[in-house]
Amino acid sequence: MNVLLVEDDDSIAVPLAEGLQREGFDVVRAATGAEALAAETPDFVLLDLRLPDVDGFTVCRELRARSAVPIIVVSARGEEVDRVVGLELGADDYVVKPFGLRELIARIRAVVRRTEARSAGEAAEELAAGPVRIDLRAHRVLVDEEEVALTGKEYDLLALLVRNAGAVVSREEILRDVWNTTWYGSSKTIDVHVASLRRKLGRPELIETLRGVGLRFDPT
């Protein structure tokens, strides 16, 4: 697996690259945001936020706009707002420095498994419940046969809920399946995405919130 390591600090980048290489990863390092954006698309990205030229959030947004490459933000910025912004910009996970190499590798492999499982699931033609139809191959969402434009995470969240239509999906399950994290503080970003989904679908009653339990897609 080719990993793009975006980190300007040699004291962090060098031992991290060596550790990843020992685990069988091929590592290419970028010390600036410009280098990261100019690099060939890798299989995976480890992205620091504090870069000398461009804010890491900008790099994350631009990488996500051009591809679905899995991204883990690796940063000393552990404030909740940074985590939420990173996840909303398309990062698949967020690891706060300092961290252990074993934890990071476990998270990389978890993100890869989740990405592969999602791709495999999309081999099916479509999901449908009530007025919502999701064309998995074309990555399109239709409500009463009218197409609705969603962000990547909104699409993933809706697909999870529709796939489990009528059943309650816990917040922990949503965090694990959509954001590939168990960090419960990021559940606030779930509320943001649910509010946006309800607005875009034009049928807020389709997504029911069960306080303290989770969410349910109700197609009736």
pLDDT(24) > 60: yes
The DSSP call for residue 144 is T
Give CA–CA dist 92/116, Å, rounded. 13
Classify domain 123-217 at the CATH class level: mainly alpha
pLDDT at 186: 58
Of 83, 86, 92, 9, the closest CA to residue 43 belongs to 92
Domains of the chain, residue spans? 2-120, 123-217
Tell me the CA distances in angstroms from 55 to 51, 67, 169, one per residue in order: 6, 19, 35
Instruction: Provide the mean pLDDT of the chain.
Output: 87
The DSSP call for residue 194 is H
Give me the CATH code for the 2-120 domain, please.
3.40.50.2300
Give CA–CA dist 30/27, Å, rounded. 10
Most confident residue range from 8-17, 65-74, 99-108: 8-17
127's CB contacts (< 8 A; 6+ apart) are: 133, 134, 136, 159, 162, 163
- 115-166 pLDDT, tens digit per residue, is 776 666 555 578 899 999 999 888 899 999 999 998 888 999 999 999 889 9
- 75-97 pLDDT, tens digit per residue, is 887 777 787 788 778 888 888 88
